[in-house]
Chain A
Amino acid sequence: METISVFLTNVKNTLHTLASGLTSEFSNGNSLISNEVMNIIENPKDKKELDKAVDYLLNNKSIKQKEVILSNKTIIISLG
């Protein structure tokens, strides 16, 4: 029973790996909160950094861009 369970898990993992090789991380910008943003705001530290940067841009209208240092990358944001 355990062998079948391991085998089925492996089948699932293989299919997942195959699907990952075919999916695109390229966002067409249509979803309201993309997976990329979700990853940022689900990390409390990153979310804080992002919110701080947005607050800063809102309070300093003359500044157009702000660098946000996230846990795995650095992005530059601006208000649309």
Chain B
Amino acid sequence: MENLALNTIFYILIFIFPGLLFRKFYFSGDFTKQFQQGNLMERLLWTLFFSTLIITLSVLFFIFIETYTLAKTQEYVSYQNVKKLFETLSANKLPEKTDVDKYFYKNYVYLILILYCISIFTGFVSYKLIRLTNIDSYIPALRYKNYWHYLIRSKKINGQKNSNNKYLYTNADVLIECKDKTELYSGYVQNYFIDPLTNKLNCIILKDAYKFISVSNTINKDIETSIENKENIYERHKIYSDKVVYKKYIPGDILTLFDDRIININLTYVEQVTNLKEKKRVFINSFFYVILTIILFTPWLIQYDLTTTIKRKIIISLICYFTLISIRNYLLELLILKDKPLGFKNFAFGVILFNIPLLWFFKIINIWWTLLLVFLFFLFMVFVIGDWQKQVKKNK
């Protein structure tokens, strides 16, 4: 035990892990490799910075909970207790059983877990907010290092205007070196991989790829026969006076082209022009998210008999969340803005199931009866929806 510095573990748990978790979730999706980029000192400083920020946020959160709810976080984990624990660990000693009251360690573990959850949540929400708002296109400080993300998706950084249209996909024409000649491949960009340290492209993956083949007019008989037989191997692309350019489809789902052979890449961004239907959908979604935020936060802000405990606040927030999402989706369905309609019956059953816990919330029945009711109603749904789906399949 001599070599084990307890205070170091304490420091890591408090000052490193929250920042580490924040960074891990902030660099999600296309940017996971940025998590391990940069020198160790720089990463450590960023981690410490984010840890401090999250600890401050968490303290504010606990003060908020303490002020606006009946939950007493400071009752067990008081400043004196934390200070005593810290001093004991700094002396590289394990705390005595009698040092602090019996609930201290349990609540201390809970608080650490909440701190980690806040780190994960803030990291992921920050990432999502940046991706949804494209704010990194305008603020260079928020820009991720993976420039291929911006290149492939036509963002403002790329020299292209940011349009209000909806991004559909990117088509790539990739010129590659093959022995003493070049070959041009084309297809939908399915994915790409970059070097974890340099962000340089390792490979690009094309879906439904084809190769351009230029053939003299006199020797293209086999190809023409294949086209006439509709073998789906060749397709005429352009006809010139002396030659014909064909598209030769590459068998298989995807084609991977590695960077060492790529000479250049020509990207075409295809977007869908936002029509009234799409605008309506965006409006309904935006409106819904405003209402959802208000409704979800209300139980946490008001002092009310039914929302005294955190458990009750969480349950009512979840009920509101599921119900509102169901209503939003059904509203989109009614306005014919949803591609896969669910039907009124399924919508109604879902809403009823999600709202059964209200009986517990309003103290009409206890938790066990509520769970039994949820289970029984779910069984009822299994028979009704299951049979209904069978009939639909039969009819089809």
Chain A interfacial positions (CB closer than 8 Å to B): 6-7, 9-11, 13-14, 17-18, 20-30, 32-34, 36-37, 41, 47, 50, 54, 58, 65, 75-80
Contact = CB atoms under 8 A, between A and B. Distances in A.
A21 B346 contact: yes
Contacts of B189: 32-33
A7 B385 CA distance: 11
B325 interface: yes
7 smallest beta-carbon distances between A and B, as pairs: A10-B386, A80-B269, A76-B273, A80-B154, A21-B350, A29-B167, A10-B382
Contact of A28 (B131, B329, B340, B386): B131
B382 A14 contact: yes
Interface in B247-299: 268-273, 275, 281-282, 285
A11 B281 CA distance: 31
A49 B81 CA distance: 70
Interface stretch (B110-118, B168-176, B221-229): B168-176
B383 A80 contact: no
Given A22-B325, A65-B273, A80 B382 contact: no
8 contacts: A10-B387, A17-B350, A22-B325, A30-B29, A33-B169, A33-B188, A58-B268, A79-B269
B342 A21 contact: yes
A38 B281 CA distance: 20
Contacts of B347: 21
Interface of B: 29, 131-132, 152-154, 160, 163, 165-171, 188-191, 207-208, 268-273, 275, 281-282, 285, 322, 325-326, 329-330, 332, 338-340, 342, 346-347, 350, 353, 378, 381-383, 385-387, 389
Given A18-B381, A25-B338, A75-B273, 10 more contacts: A14-B385, A20-B340, A22-B329, A27-B166, A32-B169, A37-B168, A54-B270, A77-B270, A78-B163, A79-B271
Contacts of B163: 78, 80
A34 B153 CA distance: 12
A76 B224 CA distance: 33
Contacts of B269: 79-80
Given A9-B386, A76-B272, A79-B268, A41 B346 contact: no
Contacts of A7: 382, 386
A33 B326 contact: no
Nearest to A74: B275
Contacts of A37: 168-169, 188
Max count, chain B CB within 10 A of own CB: residue among A11, A17, A33: A17
A22 B342 contact: no
